Amino acid sequence: MKRIAIRGDLLEVTADPGFGGTQSSKVRFDADHWLLIEDGRIAGRSATEPDAGWTRHDHKGRLVTPGFIDTHVHSPQLDVVASYGAQLLDWLNTYTFPAEMRFADPAVAARGSAAFLDALLAHGTTSAVVFPTVHKTSVDALFEAASARGMRIIAGKVLMDRHAPDGLRDDVAQAERDCTDLIARWHGRERAAYAVTVRFAPTSTPEQLDMAGALLAAHPGLYMQTHVAENRDEVRWVAELFPRARSYLDVYRQHGLLNDRAVLAHGIWLDADDRALLTDSGAQIAHSPSSNLFLGSGLIGWTALQDAGAHVTLASDVGGGTSLSMLRTMADAYRVQALQGVRLTAWKALYAATRGAARALHLEHEIGSFEPGTLADVAVWDWAAGPVATHRDAVARDLHERVFAWMTLGDERNLAATWVAGRELYRRPGA
Protein backbone atom coordinates (compact mmCIF):
# COMPACT_ATOMS: atom_id res chain seq x y z
CA MET A 1 0.00 0.00 0.00
CA LYS A 2 1.35 3.40 -1.00
CA ARG A 3 0.91 5.94 1.78
CA ILE A 4 1.40 9.68 1.31
CA ALA A 5 0.84 12.53 3.75
CA ILE A 6 0.60 16.21 2.74
CA ARG A 7 0.98 18.82 5.47
CA GLY A 8 -0.72 22.20 5.27
CA ASP A 9 -3.83 24.20 6.11
CA LEU A 10 -6.66 21.97 4.87
CA LEU A 11 -9.71 23.82 3.50
CA GLU A 12 -12.90 22.52 1.91
CA VAL A 13 -16.55 23.56 1.66
CA THR A 14 -18.69 20.59 2.61
CA ALA A 15 -22.09 21.75 1.35
CA ASP A 16 -23.68 24.69 -0.44
CA PRO A 17 -23.15 27.74 1.84
CA GLY A 18 -25.58 29.89 -0.12
CA PHE A 19 -25.11 33.61 -0.61
CA GLY A 20 -25.21 34.27 3.12
CA GLY A 21 -22.64 35.61 5.50
CA THR A 22 -18.94 35.05 5.78
CA GLN A 23 -19.35 32.72 8.76
CA SER A 24 -20.56 29.30 7.64
CA SER A 25 -20.92 25.89 9.25
CA LYS A 26 -20.39 24.42 5.77
CA VAL A 27 -16.66 25.27 5.85
CA ARG A 28 -14.10 22.85 7.24
CA PHE A 29 -10.68 24.31 8.01
CA ASP A 30 -7.96 22.34 9.75
CA ALA A 31 -4.88 24.48 10.17
CA ASP A 32 -1.55 22.65 10.10
CA HIS A 33 -2.89 19.16 9.55
CA TRP A 34 -1.73 16.20 7.51
CA LEU A 35 -3.90 14.98 4.64
CA LEU A 36 -3.53 11.20 4.49
CA ILE A 37 -3.61 9.39 1.15
CA GLU A 38 -3.56 5.62 0.64
CA ASP A 39 -3.27 4.13 -2.83
CA GLY A 40 -4.39 7.36 -4.45
CA ARG A 41 -7.46 7.91 -2.27
CA ILE A 42 -8.13 10.17 0.68
CA ALA A 43 -7.80 8.17 3.90
CA GLY A 44 -8.34 10.96 6.44
CA ARG A 45 -6.47 13.74 8.19
CA SER A 46 -4.31 14.00 11.25
CA ALA A 47 -3.18 16.78 13.56
CA THR A 48 0.01 14.87 14.33
CA GLU A 49 2.79 13.84 12.01
CA PRO A 50 2.35 10.29 10.69
CA ASP A 51 5.05 7.71 11.22
CA ALA A 52 7.81 6.67 8.85
CA GLY A 53 5.42 4.37 6.99
CA TRP A 54 4.12 7.45 5.20
CA THR A 55 5.93 9.47 2.53
CA ARG A 56 5.62 12.96 3.96
CA HIS A 57 5.35 16.19 1.97
CA ASP A 58 5.67 19.12 4.33
CA HIS A 59 3.85 22.23 3.08
CA LYS A 60 3.45 23.84 6.48
CA GLY A 61 2.08 27.36 6.12
CA ARG A 62 0.50 26.64 2.75
CA LEU A 63 -3.15 26.19 1.85
CA VAL A 64 -4.35 22.77 0.69
CA THR A 65 -7.63 22.45 -1.22
CA PRO A 66 -9.36 19.87 -3.40
CA GLY A 67 -8.29 20.19 -7.03
CA PHE A 68 -10.49 22.55 -8.98
CA ILE A 69 -13.17 21.37 -11.43
CA ASP A 70 -13.59 23.47 -14.58
CA THR A 71 -17.02 22.71 -16.02
CA HIS A 72 -16.55 24.37 -19.42
CA VAL A 73 -13.30 24.86 -21.32
CA HIS A 74 -12.03 24.37 -24.89
CA SER A 75 -8.84 22.34 -25.33
CA PRO A 76 -7.80 23.80 -28.74
CA GLN A 77 -8.27 27.41 -27.72
CA LEU A 78 -5.00 28.12 -25.94
CA ASP A 79 -4.05 29.47 -29.37
CA VAL A 80 -6.69 32.20 -29.23
CA VAL A 81 -6.89 33.21 -25.57
CA ALA A 82 -6.61 37.01 -25.19
CA SER A 83 -7.58 37.76 -28.80
CA TYR A 84 -8.63 41.35 -29.37
CA GLY A 85 -11.83 43.09 -30.19
CA ALA A 86 -14.80 40.96 -31.15
CA GLN A 87 -18.13 39.82 -29.76
CA LEU A 88 -19.07 36.18 -29.69
CA LEU A 89 -20.12 35.42 -33.27
CA ASP A 90 -17.32 37.43 -34.90
CA TRP A 91 -14.84 36.00 -32.38
CA LEU A 92 -15.75 32.45 -33.39
CA ASN A 93 -15.20 33.10 -37.08
CA THR A 94 -12.10 35.25 -36.69
CA TYR A 95 -10.18 33.34 -34.05
CA THR A 96 -11.77 30.13 -32.81
CA PHE A 97 -12.66 28.22 -35.95
CA PRO A 98 -9.24 28.65 -37.62
CA ALA A 99 -7.52 27.39 -34.45
CA GLU A 100 -9.81 24.37 -34.26
CA MET A 101 -9.17 23.40 -37.88
CA ARG A 102 -5.56 22.65 -37.01
CA PHE A 103 -6.66 19.82 -34.71
CA ALA A 104 -7.56 17.70 -37.74
CA ASP A 105 -3.86 16.83 -37.77
CA PRO A 106 -3.28 13.99 -35.24
CA ALA A 107 0.16 15.33 -34.32
CA VAL A 108 -1.22 18.80 -33.63
CA ALA A 109 -4.09 17.30 -31.63
CA ALA A 110 -1.69 15.21 -29.55
CA ARG A 111 0.64 18.12 -28.80
CA GLY A 112 -2.23 20.48 -28.14
CA SER A 113 -4.05 18.10 -25.81
CA ALA A 114 -0.92 17.41 -23.77
CA ALA A 115 -0.13 21.12 -23.50
CA PHE A 116 -3.71 21.90 -22.51
CA LEU A 117 -3.90 19.30 -19.73
CA ASP A 118 -0.49 20.27 -18.37
CA ALA A 119 -1.66 23.87 -18.32
CA LEU A 120 -4.77 22.88 -16.33
CA LEU A 121 -2.57 21.11 -13.79
CA ALA A 122 -0.30 24.16 -13.56
CA HIS A 123 -3.38 26.17 -12.57
CA GLY A 124 -4.61 23.74 -9.89
CA THR A 125 -7.38 22.24 -12.04
CA THR A 126 -7.55 18.45 -11.89
CA SER A 127 -10.91 17.72 -13.58
CA ALA A 128 -12.68 19.38 -16.49
CA VAL A 129 -15.60 19.26 -18.90
CA VAL A 130 -13.92 19.91 -22.23
CA PHE A 131 -14.78 20.80 -25.82
CA PRO A 132 -12.20 19.32 -28.22
CA THR A 133 -13.06 19.89 -31.91
CA VAL A 134 -15.28 18.35 -34.57
CA HIS A 135 -12.43 15.97 -35.46
CA LYS A 136 -12.53 12.48 -34.04
CA THR A 137 -8.76 12.55 -33.67
CA SER A 138 -8.99 15.49 -31.28
CA VAL A 139 -11.16 13.47 -28.90
CA ASP A 140 -8.85 10.46 -29.00
CA ALA A 141 -5.86 12.70 -28.35
CA LEU A 142 -7.51 14.40 -25.39
CA PHE A 143 -8.61 11.17 -23.74
CA GLU A 144 -5.22 9.55 -24.38
CA ALA A 145 -3.44 12.47 -22.73
CA ALA A 146 -5.89 12.46 -19.80
CA SER A 147 -5.39 8.72 -19.34
CA ALA A 148 -1.62 9.18 -19.13
CA ARG A 149 -2.17 11.72 -16.35
CA GLY A 150 -5.00 9.91 -14.59
CA MET A 151 -7.28 12.94 -14.86
CA ARG A 152 -11.09 13.02 -14.75
CA ILE A 153 -12.11 14.44 -18.12
CA ILE A 154 -15.59 14.65 -19.64
CA ALA A 155 -15.49 15.36 -23.38
CA GLY A 156 -16.83 14.40 -26.79
CA LYS A 157 -16.63 15.09 -30.50
CA VAL A 158 -18.08 18.51 -31.31
CA LEU A 159 -21.18 18.33 -33.54
CA MET A 160 -21.43 20.98 -36.28
CA ASP A 161 -23.11 20.31 -39.61
CA ARG A 162 -23.94 23.86 -40.67
CA HIS A 163 -22.91 27.52 -40.28
CA ALA A 164 -19.26 26.59 -39.91
CA PRO A 165 -16.35 26.73 -42.39
CA ASP A 166 -15.09 23.88 -44.53
CA GLY A 167 -12.97 21.58 -42.41
CA LEU A 168 -15.15 22.03 -39.34
CA ARG A 169 -18.47 20.67 -40.57
CA ASP A 170 -19.57 17.08 -40.23
CA ASP A 171 -22.74 15.32 -41.37
CA VAL A 172 -25.33 13.49 -39.35
CA ALA A 173 -24.47 9.95 -40.42
CA GLN A 174 -20.70 10.26 -40.07
CA ALA A 175 -21.02 12.14 -36.79
CA GLU A 176 -23.22 9.38 -35.38
CA ARG A 177 -20.69 6.72 -36.40
CA ASP A 178 -17.83 8.70 -34.89
CA CYS A 179 -19.68 9.29 -31.63
CA THR A 180 -20.73 5.66 -31.32
CA ASP A 181 -17.16 4.51 -31.83
CA LEU A 182 -15.77 7.04 -29.34
CA ILE A 183 -18.39 6.11 -26.74
CA ALA A 184 -17.44 2.44 -27.03
CA ARG A 185 -13.74 3.27 -26.80
CA TRP A 186 -13.72 5.81 -23.99
CA HIS A 187 -16.89 6.15 -21.94
CA GLY A 188 -16.30 4.65 -18.51
CA ARG A 189 -12.68 3.75 -19.26
CA GLU A 190 -10.53 4.75 -16.26
CA ARG A 191 -11.59 8.35 -15.49
CA ALA A 192 -12.98 9.22 -18.92
CA ALA A 193 -16.64 10.01 -19.58
CA TYR A 194 -18.21 10.85 -22.90
CA ALA A 195 -20.30 13.95 -23.49
CA VAL A 196 -22.55 14.37 -26.49
CA THR A 197 -21.17 17.75 -27.55
CA VAL A 198 -23.39 20.10 -29.52
CA ARG A 199 -21.37 23.25 -30.31
CA PHE A 200 -24.48 25.37 -30.03
CA ALA A 201 -27.89 25.22 -31.62
CA PRO A 202 -27.07 27.40 -34.67
CA THR A 203 -24.32 25.05 -35.88
CA SER A 204 -26.45 21.90 -35.83
CA THR A 205 -29.43 21.13 -38.04
CA PRO A 206 -32.58 19.81 -36.38
CA GLU A 207 -31.66 16.39 -37.78
CA GLN A 208 -28.31 16.45 -36.05
CA LEU A 209 -29.89 17.59 -32.78
CA ASP A 210 -32.31 14.67 -33.04
CA MET A 211 -29.37 12.32 -33.56
CA ALA A 212 -27.65 13.77 -30.48
CA GLY A 213 -30.77 13.23 -28.42
CA ALA A 214 -31.03 9.65 -29.67
CA LEU A 215 -27.43 8.99 -28.58
CA LEU A 216 -28.26 10.18 -25.07
CA ALA A 217 -31.32 7.96 -24.97
CA ALA A 218 -29.41 4.94 -26.25
CA HIS A 219 -26.47 5.28 -23.84
CA PRO A 220 -27.61 6.04 -20.28
CA GLY A 221 -24.94 7.78 -18.25
CA LEU A 222 -23.57 9.95 -21.05
CA TYR A 223 -23.18 13.65 -20.44
CA MET A 224 -24.33 16.41 -22.78
CA GLN A 225 -22.54 19.72 -23.19
CA THR A 226 -23.33 22.80 -25.23
CA HIS A 227 -23.70 26.58 -25.07
CA VAL A 228 -26.89 28.48 -24.36
CA ALA A 229 -28.03 32.11 -24.26
CA GLU A 230 -24.56 33.63 -24.09
CA ASN A 231 -25.03 36.66 -26.33
CA ARG A 232 -28.11 38.64 -27.37
CA ASP A 233 -27.31 38.45 -31.09
CA GLU A 234 -26.90 34.69 -30.71
CA VAL A 235 -30.28 34.44 -28.95
CA ARG A 236 -31.95 36.35 -31.79
CA TRP A 237 -30.29 34.08 -34.35
CA VAL A 238 -31.55 30.97 -32.59
CA ALA A 239 -35.07 32.40 -32.58
CA GLU A 240 -34.85 32.81 -36.36
CA LEU A 241 -33.48 29.31 -36.91
CA PHE A 242 -35.91 27.55 -34.56
CA PRO A 243 -39.18 29.51 -34.72
CA ARG A 244 -41.20 26.73 -33.08
CA ALA A 245 -39.11 26.75 -29.91
CA ARG A 246 -40.26 28.89 -27.00
CA SER A 247 -36.69 29.88 -26.19
CA TYR A 248 -33.08 29.02 -26.91
CA LEU A 249 -33.05 26.53 -24.02
CA ASP A 250 -36.29 25.02 -25.29
CA VAL A 251 -34.52 24.03 -28.53
CA TYR A 252 -32.49 21.55 -26.52
CA ARG A 253 -35.55 20.28 -24.68
CA GLN A 254 -37.39 19.63 -27.91
CA HIS A 255 -34.54 17.45 -29.15
CA GLY A 256 -34.17 15.39 -25.97
CA LEU A 257 -30.93 17.02 -24.84
CA LEU A 258 -31.83 18.20 -21.34
CA ASN A 259 -31.26 15.92 -18.39
CA ASP A 260 -29.38 15.87 -15.11
CA ARG A 261 -26.07 15.30 -16.90
CA ALA A 262 -26.43 18.27 -19.23
CA VAL A 263 -23.83 21.03 -18.84
CA LEU A 264 -24.85 24.28 -20.53
CA ALA A 265 -22.30 27.06 -20.70
CA HIS A 266 -23.25 30.66 -19.93
CA GLY A 267 -27.05 30.85 -19.55
CA ILE A 268 -27.08 34.65 -19.26
CA TRP A 269 -30.22 35.50 -21.23
CA LEU A 270 -32.72 33.14 -19.63
CA ASP A 271 -36.19 33.87 -18.29
CA ALA A 272 -38.25 32.39 -15.47
CA ASP A 273 -39.62 29.59 -17.66
CA ASP A 274 -36.09 28.67 -18.71
CA ARG A 275 -34.96 28.58 -15.09
CA ALA A 276 -37.85 26.30 -14.24
CA LEU A 277 -36.89 24.02 -17.14
CA LEU A 278 -33.33 23.81 -15.85
CA THR A 279 -34.60 22.87 -12.42
CA ASP A 280 -37.03 20.26 -13.72
CA SER A 281 -34.41 18.64 -15.93
CA GLY A 282 -31.56 18.82 -13.40
CA ALA A 283 -29.27 20.46 -15.98
CA GLN A 284 -26.54 22.83 -14.81
CA ILE A 285 -25.30 26.18 -15.99
CA ALA A 286 -21.51 26.43 -16.29
CA HIS A 287 -21.06 30.09 -15.36
CA SER A 288 -18.13 31.55 -17.27
CA PRO A 289 -17.63 35.05 -15.82
CA SER A 290 -14.22 35.85 -17.29
CA SER A 291 -15.43 35.07 -20.79
CA ASN A 292 -18.69 36.94 -20.28
CA LEU A 293 -16.83 40.06 -19.17
CA PHE A 294 -14.14 39.81 -21.86
CA LEU A 295 -16.59 39.35 -24.74
CA GLY A 296 -19.14 41.76 -23.27
CA SER A 297 -21.82 39.08 -23.30
CA GLY A 298 -23.71 40.10 -20.15
CA LEU A 299 -24.14 39.41 -16.44
CA ILE A 300 -25.61 36.13 -15.25
CA GLY A 301 -28.45 36.14 -12.74
CA TRP A 302 -26.92 33.57 -10.39
CA THR A 303 -29.27 34.23 -7.50
CA ALA A 304 -32.33 33.92 -9.74
CA LEU A 305 -31.04 30.57 -10.99
CA GLN A 306 -30.36 29.38 -7.46
CA ASP A 307 -33.72 30.61 -6.18
CA ALA A 308 -35.35 28.53 -8.94
CA GLY A 309 -33.39 25.47 -7.82
CA ALA A 310 -30.99 25.27 -10.77
CA HIS A 311 -27.37 24.16 -10.45
CA VAL A 312 -24.64 26.72 -11.17
CA THR A 313 -20.97 25.75 -11.41
CA LEU A 314 -17.88 27.72 -12.43
CA ALA A 315 -15.89 27.54 -15.65
CA SER A 316 -12.94 29.30 -17.24
CA ASP A 317 -14.24 29.04 -20.84
CA VAL A 318 -10.76 29.49 -22.26
CA GLY A 319 -10.32 30.84 -24.92
CA GLY A 320 -13.23 33.29 -24.46
CA GLY A 321 -12.09 33.40 -20.87
CA THR A 322 -8.68 34.95 -20.37
CA SER A 323 -7.16 32.49 -17.91
CA LEU A 324 -7.33 28.83 -16.92
CA SER A 325 -7.00 29.96 -13.30
CA MET A 326 -10.12 29.14 -11.33
CA LEU A 327 -8.95 31.70 -8.77
CA ARG A 328 -9.23 34.40 -11.42
CA THR A 329 -12.54 32.90 -12.48
CA MET A 330 -13.87 33.12 -8.92
CA ALA A 331 -12.69 36.71 -8.62
CA ASP A 332 -14.46 37.60 -11.86
CA ALA A 333 -17.61 35.84 -10.63
CA TYR A 334 -17.51 38.13 -7.60
CA ARG A 335 -17.32 41.17 -9.90
CA VAL A 336 -20.23 39.98 -12.04
CA GLN A 337 -22.40 39.62 -8.97
CA ALA A 338 -21.22 42.88 -7.43
CA LEU A 339 -22.39 44.73 -10.54
CA GLN A 340 -25.86 43.40 -9.72
CA GLY A 341 -25.78 44.27 -6.04
CA VAL A 342 -25.00 40.71 -4.89
CA ARG A 343 -21.98 39.77 -2.80
CA LEU A 344 -20.43 36.39 -3.62
CA THR A 345 -18.56 34.98 -0.63
CA ALA A 346 -15.34 33.05 -1.01
CA TRP A 347 -17.18 30.03 0.38
CA LYS A 348 -19.84 30.06 -2.32
CA ALA A 349 -17.27 30.58 -5.07
CA LEU A 350 -15.01 27.81 -3.76
CA TYR A 351 -17.96 25.45 -3.43
CA ALA A 352 -18.99 26.07 -7.07
CA ALA A 353 -15.48 25.20 -8.25
CA THR A 354 -15.07 22.07 -6.12
CA ARG A 355 -17.74 20.06 -4.32
CA GLY A 356 -20.67 21.85 -5.92
CA ALA A 357 -19.36 21.03 -9.38
CA ALA A 358 -18.72 17.43 -8.36
CA ARG A 359 -22.26 17.13 -7.04
CA ALA A 360 -23.81 18.61 -10.19
CA LEU A 361 -21.77 16.17 -12.29
CA HIS A 362 -22.75 13.17 -10.11
CA LEU A 363 -19.09 12.74 -9.19
CA GLU A 364 -19.17 13.68 -5.53
CA HIS A 365 -17.97 10.17 -4.65
CA GLU A 366 -14.77 10.82 -6.64
CA ILE A 367 -13.77 14.48 -6.71
CA GLY A 368 -14.29 17.88 -5.13
CA SER A 369 -13.63 17.15 -1.46
CA PHE A 370 -11.41 15.50 1.14
CA GLU A 371 -13.98 12.88 2.04
CA PRO A 372 -12.39 9.50 2.78
CA GLY A 373 -12.54 7.29 -0.29
CA THR A 374 -12.48 10.09 -2.85
CA LEU A 375 -9.54 10.22 -5.23
CA ALA A 376 -6.71 12.40 -4.00
CA ASP A 377 -6.93 15.27 -6.48
CA VAL A 378 -5.27 17.99 -4.44
CA ALA A 379 -3.84 21.48 -4.94
CA VAL A 380 -1.29 23.13 -2.64
CA TRP A 381 -1.13 26.93 -2.62
CA ASP A 382 0.84 29.79 -1.17
CA TRP A 383 -1.62 31.94 0.72
CA ALA A 384 -0.10 34.98 -0.94
CA ALA A 385 2.30 35.81 -3.77
CA GLY A 386 4.00 39.18 -4.06
CA PRO A 387 4.35 42.07 -1.60
CA VAL A 388 0.79 43.42 -1.79
CA ALA A 389 -0.91 40.05 -1.30
CA THR A 390 1.57 39.08 1.41
CA HIS A 391 0.83 42.29 3.32
CA ARG A 392 -2.92 41.80 2.88
CA ASP A 393 -2.73 38.21 4.10
CA ALA A 394 -0.80 39.27 7.19
CA VAL A 395 -3.47 41.72 8.34
CA ALA A 396 -6.54 39.54 7.57
CA ARG A 397 -8.83 39.48 10.61
CA ASP A 398 -10.57 36.15 10.10
CA LEU A 399 -10.58 33.08 7.88
CA HIS A 400 -13.00 34.37 5.28
CA GLU A 401 -11.08 37.60 4.89
CA ARG A 402 -7.91 35.61 4.33
CA VAL A 403 -9.47 33.20 1.82
CA PHE A 404 -11.22 36.04 0.00
CA ALA A 405 -7.92 37.88 -0.38
CA TRP A 406 -6.31 34.69 -1.71
CA MET A 407 -9.19 34.31 -4.16
CA THR A 408 -9.10 37.95 -5.26
CA LEU A 409 -5.36 38.57 -5.43
CA GLY A 410 -4.20 35.07 -6.31
CA ASP A 411 -3.70 33.14 -9.52
CA GLU A 412 -1.56 30.29 -10.81
CA ARG A 413 1.55 31.94 -9.35
CA ASN A 414 0.24 30.92 -5.92
CA LEU A 415 0.19 27.25 -6.87
CA ALA A 416 2.95 25.13 -5.33
CA ALA A 417 1.90 21.62 -6.36
CA THR A 418 -0.91 19.61 -7.93
CA TRP A 419 -1.71 15.97 -7.20
CA VAL A 420 -3.95 13.68 -9.26
CA ALA A 421 -5.09 10.43 -7.66
CA GLY A 422 -2.18 10.64 -5.25
CA ARG A 423 0.49 11.39 -7.89
CA GLU A 424 2.25 14.74 -7.91
CA LEU A 425 1.96 15.91 -11.51
CA TYR A 426 2.96 19.54 -11.08
CA ARG A 427 5.40 21.28 -8.77
CA ARG A 428 6.42 24.88 -9.10
CA PRO A 429 10.18 25.19 -9.39
CA GLY A 430 11.59 25.82 -5.94
CA ALA A 431 8.32 25.03 -4.14
Strand partners, 262: 224
Provide the pLDDT for residue 87.
Answer: 66
b/e per residue, 117-128, with b = 16+ CB within 10 A? bebbbbbbbbbb
Listed in sequence order, the residues at least 6 apart from 116 whose beta carbon sits closer than 8 Å to its beta carbon are: 75, 76, 78, 130, 142, 145
Q: Has residue 239 got a pLDDT over 70?
A: yes
Pick one of 1.20.1440.230, 3.80.30.20, 2.30.40.10, 3.30.450.20 as the CATH number of 3-67+368-427: 2.30.40.10
Instruction: Evaluate if residue 92 carries a pLDDT over 90.
Output: no
Q: Taking CA 225 as the corner, what is the angle to CA 18 and CA 217, rounded to the nearest 5 degrees?
A: 110
CATH architecture of 68-324: Alpha-Beta Barrel (3.20)
Summarised one tens digit per residue, pLDDT across range 132-146 is 999 999 999 999 999
pLDDT above 90 (res 215): yes
Q: Where are the domains of the chain?
A: 3-67+368-427, 68-324
Peptide bond into 20 cis (omega under 30): no
State the pLDDT confidence band at 89, using cuts at 50, 70 and 90. Answer: low
The predicted pLDDT at position 102 comes to 87
pTM over 0.75: yes
pLDDT at 267 over 90: yes
Confidence label for 84 from pLDDT (cuts 50, 70 and 90): confident
State how far the Cα of 30 lies from the Cα of 10, in Å rounded to an integer.
5
pLDDT at 430: 86
pLDDT band of residue 174 (cuts 50, 70, 90) is: very high
Residue 188, helix vs strand vs coil: coil
- CA distance linking residue 98 with residue 100, whole number of Å: 5
